[in-house]
Structure 1
């Protein structure tokens, strides 16, 4: 019987601005990637999300990013490696404190947005992020795309790497994600997305743009918490996987 983790980016509200329905998503997913304040999230909101995750037994992950509140972390920043390492350490540490007060802990690290996509191929930044995670806790797993240089750098340091797939994002034939700036990069139909994820989990394949079927490795599937209809999409994915006999469980 197949087993897979469902994760979502949460804790991304800031001040009076609320983004997504964290409470509803936490009843669906098994791992919560909580923002760490650099692209989104504020201390009081992250405290609430940490407590809610702890109460439900949902694993908490540090969703680290470039220091880019204005751009929601979706813009590349040519930051020096030493600075990036320090910023990632800072973010993990901040969320660790909030998670521990809530009765939980940070169980893994997942880069966000532009940083996530950059370190698929940018070795200097990939090494900087891997070194940050290792410095905080060599036992923390990291999420990214299978085959990324980030995974190479993480494995060099002995970090556990967890291959991730995206429920609602389009793929290029080389296995990278289609930029959000391109039409069709984000999928919106819950039934279509649920069918796609079921095939990913059961066959290890996904249909890329242009009609090519490509192989995909995954231990965790991301269902975005900030997409329109996010709760409906996540619910459809969860229910479809359960119907197919797939066990939903955190990877840590």
Structure 2
């Protein structure tokens, strides 16, 4: 029976500001990328999120980011390599400590937003992120975009990796994500997204926005928890996969 991991970015509220319906999303996914306080999240939110993850048997991922609360981690920031390594290490260790206090542990690392996109192409920034993860735990998988610098360099160093695709994002013909500044970058119709996901899993391809069939070989699919209608979309994706006989299970 084929299987796939469903992951979502969760725990991204901050203080009195909430984002998405985390309680509902934790019941739908198999892995949760939990914000570590730099783009979203705070200690109380991190603790609540880890508790929900343990309660639902969901794998905990450290969703590390640039230090950019005001821009939600989606602004490109020039950070010196040593500083970026320290920032990632700080976030990873903080979330793992909180997770362990409630019977869990960080099981993988997934960079967020601008950092995620930057280390697709920027080898120096990728090395800085990799250095942090390797220094913390050389057996901790890094989740990222296929053929990205971060995954290539991690594999070369012997760090475990996992490749992901995005259920609710459009793709370019070269396999990169359509920039968010484009009006069709994020998909919003649950049935359309569910159909695309089934194609990704069953046929190993995603249809780029120009109609190109882009090959995919991924272990995880991301459904964003902060998009409008995220719960309905995740539900539709889950139902489509289960209906087709696909087992939903974390990649770790």
Residue 46, structure 1, aligned to residue 46, structure 2 = yes
Q: What residue in structure 1 maps to residue 78 of structure 2?
A: 78
Q: Helix, strand or coil: the match of 2:5? A: strand
Residue 217, structure 1, aligned to residue 213, structure 2 = no
The offset of 1:213, in angstroms, is 1.1
The offset of 1:214, in angstroms, is 1.0
Q: Helix, strand or coil: the match of 2:214? A: strand
Give the aligned length. 252
Q: Distance in 2 between matches of 1:160 and 1:7?
A: 17
Q: Distance in 2 between matches of 1:151 and 1:55?
A: 30
The offset of 1:149, in angstroms, is 1.0
Give the alignment's Cα RMSD to 1 decimal.
Answer: 0.6
Q: What residue in structure 1 maps to residue 58 of structure 2?
A: 58
Q: Helix, strand or coil: the match of 1:120? A: helix
Q: Equivalent residues in 2 for 1:1-252 (5 A)?
A: 1-252=1-252
Q: Distance in 1 between matches of 2:158 and 2:67?
A: 27
Regions of 4+ moved over 4 Å:
none
Q: Helix, strand or coil: the match of 1:111? A: coil
Unpaired segments of 5 or more residues in structure 2? none
Q: Distance in 2 between matches of 1:76 and 1:61?
A: 22
Q: Distance in 2 between matches of 1:214 and 1:13?
A: 34
Q: Distance in 2 between matches of 1:197 and 1:124?
A: 32
The offset of 1:229, in angstroms, is 0.2
Q: Distance in 1 between matches of 2:111 and 2:47?
A: 20
Unpaired segments of 5 or more residues in structure 1? none
- In the TM superposition, what whole-angstrom CA distance separates every residue of 1:71-100 from its partner, at most 9, and x where no partner exists? 000011111111100100000000011100
Q: Distance in 1 between matches of 2:81 and 2:217?
A: 28
The offset of 1:212, in angstroms, is 1.0
Q: Distance in 2 between matches of 1:161 and 1:120?
A: 14
> Given the two structures, how large is their TM-score scaled by the length of structure 1?
0.99
Q: Distance in 2 between matches of 1:192 and 1:73?
A: 28
Q: Helix, strand or coil: the match of 2:121? A: coil
The offset of 1:167, in angstroms, is 0.3
The offset of 1:220, in angstroms, is 0.1
The offset of 1:156, in angstroms, is 2.1
